[in-house]
Amino acid sequence: MPIDGAKVMTPDSSVSSLKGVGPKKAASLAAVGIKTVENLLYSFPRTYEDRRKKVKIAGLSAGEAAGFEGKVLSVSGKPAYVARGRRIPFTVLVGDDTGAVELVFFNARYIDRLLLPGRSFRFFGTPRVGAGRLQVIHPDFARSEDAATWADRPIMPVYSLTAGLTQKDMRAWHETALPAAASLREYLPADIMARARLCDIAYALANIHFPTEREALSAAKYRLIFEELLLLQTGLMWLKTGRGGQTAEKGIRFQKNPPLSSFEKLLSYALTGAQRRTVGEIYADMETERPMNRLVQGDVGSGKTAVAMAAIWKAVHSGFQAVMMAPTEILAKQHYAELTTVFADVSVGDNASSGNRPLRVALLTAGVKSAERKEILAALAVGEIDIAVGTHALLQPDIAFARLGLVITDEQHRFGVNQRITLTKKGGRPDVLVMTATPIPRSLALILYGDLDISLIDEMPPGRKRIVTKAVSSGKRGKVYALLEDELRKGRQAYVVAPLIEDGENSDDAPIPVRSAESLYEELKARFRDYRVALLHGNVKQYEKNRVMSEYNDGEIQVLVSTVVIEVGVNVPNATVMVVENAERFGLAQLHQLRGRVGRGGEQSYCVLVVNSESKDAVARARTLVETDDGFEIAEKDLSMRGAGELFGVRQHGIPNLRIADLARHAHIVSRVRDEASALLASDPCLKQPQNADFRRRIDAMFLDVSDLGI
């Protein structure tokens, strides 16, 4: 029921029309995206208080929220509002026939006028131990004679707040706005609602905010989670097909010859079964007129580069050019060196004549000098260069290709959507292959890539030794350095990674000391005087980064102290030790990537995680790395611990923020939603049928700022 005297709102009413929402409150609401009543209805509680649980004061336990009744026995002498912004508490001692408990309020104006000695109240809060005794900080309360109102709302919503807003405000406004939910038109297709057994939108919104029982709350949550994932998945699929299949133009049909076996003869090693299977999937795509859009996932060291070279081999022998973009100059140079070595004695047909010429590979990075760059651009434009390898420098508008047929991006999550689209548009409709060594959990991949075909290299090359991984406390750092020194004596190299660049980044009140790359560099430089120690981090200028990595790659530097800038792509086979300081500050997938920087050669390698925290999460993360080297198992656990946004930067894919769905916890719903989205678009590719009009408007609103996702 609406609060007495309040108007019945409509969904498009401004929140300013709500009682109690003046200019300041309206500005606070607008800061979190709430401008209309409908925005407010869709700002869901972050948790709930089950006020049906009532205990005696003696039964209160630290950390367990509960309701209790008591009489005010005494109050502190100084009213809370005299504090004038300082954290001077106003304390209240409340008792019943079993005992007493202290209530604490900070800067809570007028509390002293309500909680008067002798009055009885019903309270709800979470006790904690403070000052050596049990306390309840800022409990909700009501006069005992008014407690019947609590029975009307036995499960109370708890909202995320911003400056200027209170729980009392949010609850009152939501209750006032709730009747507007009844005028919202149902926008989910009726057949989908029937198959998924979803409640209607008015019921869902009423019970997500003020449920009368857990069953009603569960039904409301399921409806809203399903709805949000369905809108997201349908929108992604719709956008990727050009809003209704408008991009169904033909691509390139590459030649079936030469066979893969002719490419394998160029290699000094045999492809694994997983590599051959993946190349087979790529070749099948390339031999059709449907433009290839394929993601290749493979753990660190699984051989993605060889798969990419096999695709390039087919493209250039069909008379087309290929381009391969990497996120860093050092990685681009590594790809360039490998391509020039493998294709050193290969000749290809020249489109300008009937003769053959040597296959030509070019490197384009920001470090290429102007004269050489001009020559490369001219050769690319007339088709004299077959393969271009580079960094973001490949995106410059003056770079043109004669017959671009294949676009490959390595470590694709390091590039924004628009960058990949820019590169693709330098050809007519080239085939696209994206690669990542960051394993993506299946539930997340289904959302991120919608209709994208996915290949998995799930087999490591034979003979590769498992990296020995250990987790130690900071007190055992001496033993870690002894291991490091032992490897240095054997002529090996090591990485030491820190979470911070300099000590000044560490918060003064941080409960756990955090090591910085700069302080570690000074420490290790003094300890290992007989070896060359270098420092690398994000504030180092690019030319200096390139110099340091080149020298490390050439073995001139033995110990590289760094932040996570070395996380991706660097291949130094002689590096056998990875030490990660404050490992609790990194996600699992990131630690797995760092571990993959060693073990690239034939020698036994080691990864040591120095953990400075005894928290359950920190211990669990470290144990996971010690016990498994399966990147996909690690990624699934990382997703469940940290969520999709942190794990994979989903915002760069144009994915809107999710209000209630969680890609980790609700993975079981994703597959069903994907099937429904596919069926819906199959029956109505442009979402123009009348029954889908409201649903389409919802998608438009969700993807308001997204014009093209690409891949």
**Sign of the alpha-carbon torsion through 275, 277, 283, 289:** negative
Co-location of 396 and 535 in the same domain? no
- Cα gap 525→533, rounded to integer Å: 6
| Side chain identity, residue 373 | R
| pTM across the whole model | 0.65
Report which DSSP code applies to 54.
B
Residue 583 located in a structural domain:
yes
- Cα gap 242→291, rounded to integer Å: 14
| Three-class HEC string of 109-176 | CCHHHHCCCCCEEEEEECEEEECCEEEEECCEEEEHHHCHHHHHCCEEEECCCCCCCCHHHHHHHHHH
Predicted pLDDT at 416: 52
Co-location of 3 and 139 in the same domain? no
Co-location of 99 and 169 in the same domain? no
CA distances from 638 to 342, 562, 585, 587, 664 (A): 37, 23, 13, 7, 9
- Cα gap 614→600, rounded to integer Å: 32
Output the domain CATH number for residue 79: 2.40.50.140
Give the mean pLDDT per block of 10 residues along the chain (711 residues): 53 89 91 90 89 87 88 79 61 94 81 88 89 87 67 78 84 91 90 94 94 91 95 81 56 87 91 95 93 84 91 94 88 90 84 67 90 94 94 86 91 56 74 81 64 78 85 90 95 94 58 81 94 90 82 93 73 92 86 87 92 79 88 75 52 63 78 88 89 90 62 40
Q: What are the start-end ranges of the H helices in 318-450?
A: 329-342, 370-382, 417-424, 442-449
Is-contact 645 653, C-beta < 8 A?
no
Predicted pLDDT at 507: 44
Co-location of 30 and 65 in the same domain? no
Co-location of 173 and 106 in the same domain? no
399 is written with which tokens? 């770079």
Residue 519 located in a structural domain:
yes
Residue 442 located in a structural domain:
no
Burial of 543 (0-12, 13-18, 19+ CB in 10 A): exposed
Is-contact 91 111, C-beta < 8 A?
no
Residue 573 located in a structural domain:
yes
Residue 640 located in a structural domain:
no
For tokens 């019943």, what's the residue?
96
Co-location of 129 and 157 in the same domain? no
Residue 441 located in a structural domain:
no
End position of a domain, from candidates 601, 628, 655:
628
Range of the domain at 176: 1-46+153-184
> By three-state DSSP, how is residue 434 classified?
strand
Co-location of 123 and 267 in the same domain? no
For tokens 């004669």, what's the residue?
402
| Side chain identity, residue 183 | S
Q: Hey, which residues does 494 pair with through a beta bridge?
A: 559, 577
427 is written with which tokens? 């050809």
Output the domain CATH number for residue 592: 3.40.50.300
Number of domains forming the structure of the chain:
4
> What distance separates the 2 farthest-apart alpha carbons in the chain?
104
Is-contact 208 200, C-beta < 8 A?
no
- Cα gap 651→658, rounded to integer Å: 11
Co-location of 368 and 477 in the same domain? no
- String of DSSP letters for 487-501: HHHTT-EEEEE-SBS
Closest CA to 294 of 441, 447, 449: 449
End position of a domain, from candidates 152, 170, 200:
152
CA distances from 101 to 91, 122, 428, 564, 647 (A): 10, 13, 74, 49, 43
How far does the chain reach from its first CA to its final CA, in angstroms? 48
Phi and psi at 473, nearest 5°, equal: -85, 165
| Three-class HEC string of 503-572 | HHHCCCCCCCCCCEHHHHHHHHHHHCCCCCEEEECCCCCHHHHHHHHHHHHCCCCCEEEECHHHCCCCCC
Is-contact 253 261, C-beta < 8 A?
no
Half-sphere exposure of 272 (CA within 13 A, CB side): 20
Co-location of 472 and 620 in the same domain? yes
Is-contact 253 682, C-beta < 8 A?
no
Co-location of 267 and 146 in the same domain? no
Predicted pLDDT at 2: 44
Residue 317 located in a structural domain:
yes
Predicted pLDDT at 240: 64
CA distances from 686 to 235, 239, 675, 697 (A): 11, 10, 17, 12
Cα angle 423-357-344, degrees, rounded to a multiple of 5: 75
Q: Hey, which residues does 580 pair with through a beta bridge?
A: 497, 609
Residue 159 located in a structural domain:
yes
Predicted pLDDT at 404: 92
385 is written with which tokens? 């260069």
Closest CA to 120 of 147, 156, 87, 152: 147
Co-location of 84 and 122 in the same domain? yes
244 is written with which tokens? 């209704």
End position of a domain, from candidates 594, 628, 662:
628
Angle between helices 667-683 and 442-449 (to 10 degrees): 30
SS3 content of the chain, % helix, strand, coil (to 5): 40, 20, 40
For tokens 């997340």, what's the residue?
444
Co-location of 480 and 424 in the same domain? no
